[in-house]
Structure 1
């Protein structure tokens, strides 16, 4: 990733101010020539008083061929990506879920802190029981202190890999929106890796000694639910496949577009760019930033960025590139890591782009630098929130969390460990329910860390000095990222970001490195901290914080939430088996994703 911003904050601010002024001059008002092909759904109107926005969802099995290869999926309202939630800050969100599956499900609202609504965070075993098959459940939560770009996804049995994902947009009221006049329109850019098999067969191999800890490798990638796979490369060859279309974003020349970029992958990080254009980053995980001009954006699973794209180039069609970080993934034998979509200028026609990316190989030995650049976050010391906050101190609770993978001596399966604990909770006995008993004791495998003092400052040192990169997500909080780098973090010696540190909810822990985060104890609930590589969640790379347990107990649990726990686990339920489509064999043969498997972590 290259930047064009000067090193001086003063000159950077001046440069950005000039850039925004110039783009304002470039913009042109919408006219009657705006074609239906460019039409974009309007956000909900702003009102003087907040509204209750109600969404009705039905979760069903279906089939889909987003990259041309047909496979079984799980969808909400027969859509992939699923229905958008677009509301205004202060609105109340109500989502009525009808679970028409024959297995339980649940939903997490990634980026929502669930302040005063901790039982709707959607994590079975922590803050709710799963929604039983054939029943309804209603999530309801506020958005008073939240803005920006977020997403929702299933949080039960890897179901989000099978299709249960969608966008959440919380808009700032015009009177307080710092970027209200910085762009003319906006578009969502949803990135994901994609597998040609459902999670059931993939997990069957992964959660066995045969995988040797190497997680499944995707077959392709998608932008806004679309991709193009070469049907001659399908394995097994009898999978239905037909030519498919890539994602197209229609734009007008000389306008400014806010791209809300979301990585909904199971595993893959991406380096996102648009040929011939630069990107002005203004948001990370719901935090507005001092604008930062870049050529490309590395974005890991669970992360979000907003970036302004100025369409000030020649009228033509340009490639959007989402290049996978293959250097931090297991080796794949059937994957094109360069995922393409189109930025299509009005008047340029429909011919595929001929634009060239920043990497132009001069020999077969040249390796695309994007494949490693995608594996790390944007420069921590270059990203600063637009609304400054001092670094949280003094530290009250300090946790040094060592990330590791090792082979279980009994079943010989490679699992993930945080401080030598591999997580194993009971979805039907969540921590929030156990906490109703003030004498509750938790098993070691539940990995519960109590935070009892309101206002305490928690520091977490994620020590990854022995393994590959991991994007870590904390529920219930936006944290400060105070340090990030290679090697081992040393308190008092390693440089930290003390001046207005970046605030977000998902941060990459680099390969053979560390990331240090801080947050304040002020939100009663049960909050997961976990790697957002979904396969690693399955192997136990998870822990939980029981925050202000006495206050949480005093809040009680709504009756309809507690009622979920009255339905026991389905007969014969076995965790970590994923979605097994009807007719699939339980003893699936080895798939190409695991060819020549080695322990990758």
Structure 2
């Protein structure tokens, strides 16, 4: 393995003097595991699923060294890491991790160090995952939490630590290469075998893997950070006999809102406060999911997707209540995304530029289109082309679906209502956006919209606005990674001259593409 220590040192020396650096080493290895009782080879960080928890505090800098030790040819052997939801400063856009947009993948038996300053006082709930093809389906995903010592909502909870993180995700018994080949051949998106809660799940006919247990003490208030690490599934979260007060959406503080059920699309995150105010007992944490017809995978039983909230003093046994999918209709107080409000109200800025993005699928094929273009990753990453002088859409392939935008403008993106019956979680890299119109409502809200970085696009239409004050090429795509792989993506490339002026990549980064390009296809 080749560590270019000099370039990493140079990047560290350039950091602000007050910044604490958090060194992290992730060995990306194939390891056998059985999250739901079915044993298979996986792609993991440090041999675990989910991967190791990464934590930092406001203003810190993450220094993440990735050692690629993958050797199982049934899955991709190169890799690339994305830090989902982290606001990436233009000058560090080359360490943003989006394969073929801001970087090339890390080859087998090589290492790369991502230097990621946490800018703009960003705090909240995030996660990391492979950004190469659908590789994170094989297991390379984990939580990333940035704590705020000055959290304005800290009076609402007593406990917020490594034990109050809930990672839900879809799990698959087959590895990604044959599943992807099947998708390409049929146009039918694979259906997961199970759902996992903090890496634990069950499937129909499988062993009764013990459910994950969340320990609580009566009278204590807990901030639970919920992350949907799925590549497809939508999870609906609830806790029997308990309310959840939402205080954060995708890293942004929100005005507290009490619900007893909330949906998370792939890539979305919420913080909720749950008070342990019930009699000492065991209670179900319900995490059912949807994502394709269960008839296409008879292993799937969403009712088995759950965990246990166990009060101190309760017996070590499953709850005696039935395994439900959540509150009954007459008791339901489900989250309506459009009703969320930011903690500090402020209007969305007026739009300077309007873009309409229409989504459709090519019948019978694994091909999704945005404005009749199916995204295809280029051989030369977008950022490399910009640094080499690309200035207009003519300098990019049509299939790169790249929108050239001026710096320091407000861009409004309109997704018209879709006839497709699936809600697509669109995610903007390196930035977040104002959610002007949620797919959950017909309301248009420019007075006090929330900001987030993943929003559903579907039957009623969605409108967002984002700022190009942070120039760079930013991937904007569906977080159903099967759809992304099938072309449901764009690149929002803003301020090309400003990008060239501010981005000064390390030598280690410039060597990624030649190393990757020299590989035979079976090693990529």
- TM normalised by structure 2 equals 0.89
Contact 1:105–1:132 at 8 Å: present in 2 too? yes
Task: State the secondary structure of the residue aligned to 1:207.
Answer: helix
**Which residue does the alignment assign to 1:188?**
165
Match among 123, 130, 138 for residue 113 of structure 2: 138
**Which residue does the alignment assign to 1:433?**
384
**Separation in structure 2 between the aligned mates of residue 328 and residue 486 of structure 1, nearest angstrom:** 22
Alignment pair present for 1:398 and 2:354: yes
Task: State the secondary structure of the residue aligned to 1:69.
Answer: coil
Match among 173, 181, 184 for residue 207 of structure 1: 184
Q: Deviations over 1:436-458 (max 9, x none)?
A: 23245001001110112x32110
**Which residue does the alignment assign to 1:310?**
275
- Specify whether residues 406 and 345 from structure 1 end up closer, same or farther in structure 2 by C-alpha distance, changes over 3 A only: same
Contact 1:275–1:357 at 8 Å: present in 2 too? no
CA displacement at 1:562 relative to structure 2: 1.2
- Specify whether residues 334 and 243 from structure 1 end up closer, same or farther in structure 2 by C-alpha distance, changes over 3 A only: closer
Task: State the secondary structure of the residue aligned to 1:132.
Answer: coil
**Which residue does the alignment assign to 1:76?**
45
- Specify whether residues 340 and 443 from structure 1 end up closer, same or farther in structure 2 by C-alpha distance, changes over 3 A only: same
Q: Greater CA deviation, 275-284 or 107-116?
A: 107-116
CA displacement at 1:350 relative to structure 2: 0.5
CA displacement at 1:315 relative to structure 2: 0.2
- Specify whether residues 574 and 446 from structure 1 end up closer, same or farther in structure 2 by C-alpha distance, changes over 3 A only: farther
**Separation in structure 2 between the aligned mates of residue 358 and residue 163 of structure 1, nearest angstrom:** 28
**Separation in structure 1 between the aligned mates of residue 402 and residue 105 of structure 2, nearest angstrom:** 20
Contact 1:465–1:486 at 8 Å: present in 2 too? no
Map 1:175-574; keep pairs closer than 5 Å. 176-186=150-160, 187-208=164-185, 211=186, 213-230=187-204, 232=205, 242-325=207-290, 332-338=297-303, 339-356=305-322, 378-393=335-350, 395-407=351-363, 413-426=365-378, 428-439=379-390, 441-452=395-406, 454-467=407-420, 468-485=422-439, 495-510=443-458, 512-555=459-502, 556-569=504-517, 571-573=519-521
**Separation in structure 1 between the aligned mates of residue 18 and residue 312 of structure 2, nearest angstrom:** 38
Task: State the secondary structure of the residue aligned to 1:545.
Answer: strand
Q: Deviations over 1:457-513 (max 9, x none)?
A: 1011123422121111011211001013489xxxxxx64112210110001113x23
Contact 1:472–1:507 at 8 Å: present in 2 too? yes
Task: State the secondary structure of the residue aligned to 1:565.
Answer: helix
CA displacement at 1:388 relative to structure 2: 2.1
Unaligned runs of 5+ in 1: 1-47, 234-241, 362-367, 488-493, 578-601
**Which residue does the alignment assign to 2:10?**
none
Q: Deviations over 1:497-544 (max 9, x none)?
A: 12210110001113x231110011111211011000011011010110
Contact 2:191–2:293 at 8 Å: present in 1 too? no
Contact 1:214–1:330 at 8 Å: present in 2 too? no
**Separation in structure 1 between the aligned mates of residue 439 and residue 477 of structure 2, nearest angstrom:** 19
Match among 126, 138, 155 for residue 162 of structure 1: 138
**Separation in structure 1 between the aligned mates of residue 492 and residue 326 of structure 2, nearest angstrom:** 47
Task: State the secondary structure of the residue aligned to 1:344.
Answer: strand
**Separation in structure 1 between the aligned mates of residue 443 and residue 237 of structure 2, nearest angstrom:** 28
Larger Rg: 1
Q: Greater CA deviation, 253-262 or 456-465?
A: 456-465
CA displacement at 1:83 relative to structure 2: 1.0
- Specify whether residues 562 and 572 from structure 1 end up closer, same or farther in structure 2 by C-alpha distance, changes over 3 A only: closer
**Separation in structure 1 between the aligned mates of residue 335 and residue 326 of structure 2, nearest angstrom:** 23
Contact 2:337–2:440 at 8 Å: present in 1 too? no
RMSD over aligned Cα atoms: 2.4
Match among 52, 57, 67 for residue 21 of structure 2: 52
- Specify whether residues 369 and 98 from structure 1 end up closer, same or farther in structure 2 by C-alpha distance, changes over 3 A only: farther
- Specify whether residues 190 and 369 from structure 1 end up closer, same or farther in structure 2 by C-alpha distance, changes over 3 A only: farther
Contact 2:240–2:326 at 8 Å: present in 1 too? no
Unaligned runs of 5+ in 2: 1-16, 72-76
**Separation in structure 2 between the aligned mates of residue 369 and residue 429 of structure 1, nearest angstrom:** 52
